[in-house]
Structure 1
Amino acid sequence: MEIGLERDEGSKKWVYDSSVDYNCRIPLRASTGGWKAALFIIGIEFSERLSYFGIASNLITYLTKILHQEVKVAAKNVNNWLGVTTVMPLVGGFLADSYMGRFPIILISSIIYLAGLSLLTLSEFLPALKPATCTTQPCTHNPMRAHEVAFFVAIYLVSLGTGGHKPSLESFGADQFDEQHTEERKQKISFFNWWYFGLCSGVILGVTVVVYVQDYVSWGMAQSILTAALALAIILLLLGTPYYRYMVPKGSPLTPMLQVFVAAMAKRKLPLPSNACELYEAPKSGKVGDRILCHTNKFRFLDKAAILEADGKESQSTMYKNPWRLATVTQVEETKLILSLTPIWLSCLIFGICINQGITFFIKQGSTMDRKMGPHFEMPPASLFGFSAFFMVILISIYDKILVPSIRRVTGNERGISILQRIGIGMFFSVVCMITAALTERKRLNIAKKHTMLGSLNGPLPMSVFWLLPQFLLIGVTDVFTLVGLQEYFYDQVPDNMRSLGIALYLSVIGVSSFLSSLLISIVDKITTGRGHPWFAKSINGSRLDLFYWLLGTMGALNLGIYMYVASKYSYKNVGKRVATEDSCNGEVADLGA
């Protein structure tokens, strides 16, 4: 049954989803939230992704060209930076949900982000920090130590800023839509698609215009553009203040979960009641819009935390005041939700390793190929990612406006297909992407070998960079299905008071995968070097990235099978709504269309 049926005329005028307006009052639906607020937030994401990908997409080029690192060392440094950048949101998301609120975290982290970009800009202009110009090729001198330190401090300040910005901004945007209002709930489903549209638009400019300036004008000028863009984004954030809906933090969401485990252990010897209605749920709050979670049969041991004791040792009124002894069904179900997320999270890590190659080895491959587009223009290697982002923009529009409505009429599912089905489709395309990359790299290596033997390998290989286009387009397909799906999954399936932390969990998939990618490179390098046939040589033309891609494709295919099994066992969030006149899941269970 849909939960979006409005109970009275008041719910059409006011928003009863526990949010407040900027004056800490119940929000007026007509003047707050919805697309009028979400467009501000998507615009901010556009500016932030422009800055982020302006750094990330060309980082391996900077490390090898300016800091003169070996390819494998640079790739590991990029993966480590990506790992920190995408794991830090766990901290930012926790603080936003628990204590500070999403808007303050976004503002503070944006300022930290701006400080990092400013230092990055200064490191290119201040004489004491500016990198020395290399006069010989290949370059033999070491980079200036002060510049190297300033550079790494700057990019890790960006990581710290992203840690608060990324999880809070997306969940803050989704908060602008009331899930209990039929029309706004449909708009929220579209929001995640258009959020990614704005993100991809920022990526396109970052990996084309900004990267071109970096490669052919100056790194300092490019960093100045990124700094100015983020400064404008902060102004835009503040301009939207009157239109936002704000969720008030309710304390640490981890404490109630710990209380569930403690209470369940304390009552581990008690038998479970045969009827789940005998388990304890909090008394009616009298507040329209509060959401409860209905009982499910998974992890039944935790249900013991909600058993009402009747042994005469203490009165029920005393027991209700001891949350370490008695938990509500909703608290128990929230704990079950987090436990249920874990297998899905783990089964996405191999996928993350696969797509991480798009910003490291794929870019480095392109740097060795013929990138001329006409007699006077040579495409920067990192701009290859722009094709992927541009394809994502087109595919998202088609998916949201054509595919979803068509499939919705067939399946009756608001989303068209379920979230986990969407994620699985993207995983399949990631395997296809690795196979395609392996075949293309084999061809590139054959050409490199031929021209090395002829002694003519003095410039780019006589192989068009557009041979890499299929694997970049496949990354785009993968992102539209799996990454957008993961964002929606981790936002939707966590407890309501953990939405920022949910987005952080999605980002942590990419972060942990980045660390695992670095670890995998180290392991493979050690094994293959020991056997006398290293897969990662000092020169990319002497490496065997094709074999590495085959390894990733095989791992991805095996992991897809595991994911399909895990997803088939998953049951979606079972939501009811507590209102002043009723406190029951009967007739209130939400068909979330998951």
Structure 2
Amino acid sequence: MYNYSITPHGLVLLVISEVTIPLKHRTLPFFLALYIINIGEGGHRPCIQTFAADQFGDHLPSEKATKRSFFNWWYLGIVLAGTTATLIVPYVQGKYGWGWGYGISGVVVAVALVVFLAGKSTYRQEAPVGSSVTKVAQVVVAAFKKQRLSHENRFQLCLIEAGESSQAMTRNLAHTNQFRFLDKAAFIDEIDMSLDKKDSWRLSTVNQVKPVKILFRLIPIWLSCLMFTVVIAQIHTLYTKQASTLNRTIWSNNHELQPASFQVITGLTILAAVPIYERLLIPTAKHLTGNPFGITMLQRIGCGIFFSILTMMISALVESKRVRIATQHGLIDRPKTTLPMSVWWLVPQYVLMGISDVFTIVGLQELFYDQVPEEMRSMGAAAYLSIVGVGNFISSALISLVQVITAKHGDEWLKGDNLNKAHLDYFYWLLACLSGLSLVFYVPLAKGFIYKKLQSDGEVMII
């Protein structure tokens, strides 16, 4: 995923950086500011996208169709802001100081907050429905307590309880036979019959069980997409290390681009690809498939995973060429010497990374918004974001594991001090193979996935 992070703690760091304070006294406020932004991001990111999508009503066909395009343009706006920040903020920091860079970021977020609050009276807001996490936990615990209960020795189903509105019933989810063990949470047994008051940790309604089934249905998809986020994590680490060894001069020998600046190529690719996808690929796909949305959300995610495999293959081939040039010019043992190879050789892998982002990241955003119950959409957004977070942890763990294993055999793949003597291309091939396995795992899951459906009026539920 294209990484974006405008720092609301910028003003705090501006003050810290501009005042002469001993290092030991600067460390605590600095990390405190970082922790504050992490807490803010954790509450902000899962909610803001869901809140924005909720402004389009599902009950109006025109707005429901527009919502499918919303996720494309939403991501386009994020990438546009991230690309602009990547170009402007580092320049300001390098020319005028880090304090100015952080200060600009803080002011921008403050202005955004004012604009957001100015429109408060115009927003559609869903009524609070309580903790979704607690409701899910209650269904799972109730099903576990009744795991020995069979269909024959139950008395009846708990269909509805006091407090469930008729409006909620009109948008009742259709029943599925997947994860039937969860149905036992709604079975009424002797203990339930003996209680004066319903125990929510022993008995759930059928309507409470159905949303949990939907969440369980998404878990395999979540797992199968982890490898994709491992691949995109390389854009901020190993790609930058590659760029640092290549010739980055442009226009004249006096001007050299920073290695991290090439991440902008991925952002620019996304800015170009989203309109093409929206205005060209979707209409073409509609004509070919007959699907009113062009392709399904899961097909879109699968396309992105395929492009991520292709990205790693191209990255491996370019890295092999880089090492060959280093060998031919006798620069293997001179890691700080710029190789006579243009950094623009890396452009294809940055571009492919952007294309895979447009397919998979936007597809995941839409899937985890659309396929969870309405009252759990913030949880769905958090689940999507957790794929990215866990993928980054797996990437770090995989790099450490590869280092340990290859070091034992005397031929390290990822030498930190000399990339010319490393085997970064081997690591890229490894990621391509692992991504291929994840795609093999993903395809049958996607084919067997049952999309969320609402129960029709008058339809009889059979368990």
TM over 0.5: yes
1:292 pairs with 2:185? no
Superposition deviation, residue 292 in structure 1: 1.6
Superposition deviation, residue 159 in structure 1: 2.0
Task: Name 1:551's counterpart in structure 2.
Answer: 430
Judged with a 3 Å threshold, the aligned counterparts in structure 2 of structure 1 residues 286 and 222 are, in CA distance, closer, same or farther, namely: same
1:213-228 equivalences under 5 Å are 213-215=92-94, 217-228=96-107
Supply the distance in 1 between the matched residues of 2:61 and 2:141 (Cα, whole angstroms): 38
1:567 pairs with 2:414? no
Superposition deviation, residue 244 in structure 1: 1.0
Match of 2:12 among 113, 119, 124: 119
Contact 1:411 1:417 in 2 (8 A): yes
Superposition deviation, residue 308 in structure 1: 5.3
Letter in 2 for 1:442: S
Contact 2:244 2:259 in 1 (8 A): yes
Supply the distance in 1 between the matched residues of 2:317 and 2:26 (Cα, whole angstroms): 39
- Using the TM superposition, name which of 377-386 and 161-170 deviates more: 377-386
Superposition deviation, residue 350 in structure 1: 1.2
SS of the aligned residue for 1:234 comes to: helix
Supply the distance in 1 between the matched residues of 2:199 and 2:358 (Cα, whole angstroms): 46
Judged with a 3 Å threshold, the aligned counterparts in structure 2 of structure 1 residues 445 and 269 are, in CA distance, closer, same or farther, namely: closer
Listed one character per residue, the Cα deviations across residues 474-505 of structure 1 (whole Å, up to 9, x for unaligned) are 11011000000111111112222111111111
Contact 2:326 2:339 in 1 (8 A): yes
Supply the distance in 2 between the matched residues of 1:515 and 1:271 (Cα, whole angstroms): 41
Match of 2:229 among 332, 352, 363: 352
Judged with a 3 Å threshold, the aligned counterparts in structure 2 of structure 1 residues 585 and 254 are, in CA distance, closer, same or farther, namely: farther
Contact 2:309 2:432 in 1 (8 A): yes
Superposition deviation, residue 368 in structure 1: 2.2
Letter in 2 for 1:370: N
Letter in 2 for 1:301: F
SS of the aligned residue for 1:292 comes to: coil
Contact 2:335 2:419 in 1 (8 A): no
Supply the distance in 1 between the matched residues of 2:77 and 2:429 (Cα, whole angstroms): 33
SS of the aligned residue for 1:563 comes to: helix
Task: Name 1:419's counterpart in structure 2.
Answer: 297
1:201 pairs with 2:80? yes
Listed one character per residue, the Cα deviations across residues 159-194 of structure 1 (whole Å, up to 9, x for unaligned) are 222111111111111111111211111111111011
Supply the distance in 2 between the matched residues of 1:495 and 1:563 (Cα, whole angstroms): 23
SS of the aligned residue for 1:362 comes to: helix
1:180 pairs with 2:59? yes
Supply the distance in 1 between the matched residues of 2:241 and 2:232 (Cα, whole angstroms): 15
Superposition deviation, residue 221 in structure 1: 2.6
Contact 1:51 1:230 in 2 (8 A): no
Superposition deviation, residue 158 in structure 1: 2.3
Contact 1:441 1:545 in 2 (8 A): yes
Question: What percent of counterpart residues are identical?
Answer: 40
Relative contact order, higher structure (CA 8 A, sep 6+): 1
Task: Name 1:280's counterpart in structure 2.
Answer: 159
1:256 pairs with 2:149? no
1:242 pairs with 2:121? yes
Letter in 1 for 2:344: F
SS of the aligned residue for 2:284 comes to: helix
Letter in 1 for 2:89: V
SS of the aligned residue for 1:377 comes to: strand
Superposition deviation, residue 51 in structure 1: 4.2
TM score, norm. by length of structure 2: 0.89
Letter in 2 for 1:220: G
SS of the aligned residue for 1:369 comes to: coil
Judged with a 3 Å threshold, the aligned counterparts in structure 2 of structure 1 residues 150 and 445 are, in CA distance, closer, same or farther, namely: farther
Supply the distance in 2 between the matched residues of 1:455 and 1:536 (Cα, whole angstroms): 15
Superposition deviation, residue 536 in structure 1: 2.5
Task: Name 1:335's counterpart in structure 2.
Answer: 212
Judged with a 3 Å threshold, the aligned counterparts in structure 2 of structure 1 residues 173 and 280 are, in CA distance, closer, same or farther, namely: same
Task: Name 1:137's counterpart in structure 2.
Answer: none
Contact 1:212 1:380 in 2 (8 A): no
SS of the aligned residue for 2:410 comes to: coil
Listed one character per residue, the Cα deviations across residues 307-366 of structure 1 (whole Å, up to 9, x for unaligned) are 456999559xx67x4434442222111111121111111111111111100111112221
Contact 2:333 2:421 in 1 (8 A): no
Listed one character per residue, the Cα deviations across residues 235-262 of structure 1 (whole Å, up to 9, x for unaligned) are 1211121221112321111222233234
How many residue pairs were aligned? 454
SS of the aligned residue for 2:171 comes to: strand
Letter in 1 for 2:268: F
Letter in 1 for 2:177: N
Supply the distance in 2 between the matched residues of 1:254 and 1:527 (Cα, whole angstroms): 40
SS of the aligned residue for 1:370 comes to: coil
1:301 pairs with 2:194? no
1:131-530 equivalences under 5 Å are 150-215=29-94, 217-268=96-147, 270-272=149-151, 280-281=159-160, 285-287=165-167, 291-307=171-187, 313=193, 321-375=198-252, 377-453=255-331, 459-530=337-408
Letter in 2 for 1:444: R
Task: Name 1:92's counterpart in structure 2.
Answer: none
Supply the distance in 2 between the matched residues of 1:50 and 1:252 (Cα, whole angstroms): 29
Contact 2:140 2:182 in 1 (8 A): yes
Judged with a 3 Å threshold, the aligned counterparts in structure 2 of structure 1 residues 287 and 241 are, in CA distance, closer, same or farther, namely: same
Letter in 2 for 1:337: I
CA RMSD of superposed structures (Å): 2.9
Superposition deviation, residue 268 in structure 1: 4.4
Supply the distance in 1 between the matched residues of 2:192 and 2:45 (Cα, whole angstroms): 51
Superposition deviation, residue 290 in structure 1: 5.3
SS of the aligned residue for 2:44 comes to: helix
Task: Name 1:6's counterpart in structure 2.
Answer: none
Supply the distance in 1 between the matched residues of 2:316 and 2:21 (Cα, whole angstroms): 44
Superposition deviation, residue 201 in structure 1: 0.4
Contact 1:451 1:457 in 2 (8 A): no
Judged with a 3 Å threshold, the aligned counterparts in structure 2 of structure 1 residues 250 and 463 are, in CA distance, closer, same or farther, namely: same
- Using the TM superposition, name which of 116-125 and 481-490 deviates more: 116-125
- Using the TM superposition, name which of 299-308 and 434-443 deviates more: 299-308
Supply the distance in 2 between the matched residues of 1:256 and 1:558 (Cα, whole angstroms): 35
1:532 pairs with 2:425? no
Letter in 2 for 1:306: A
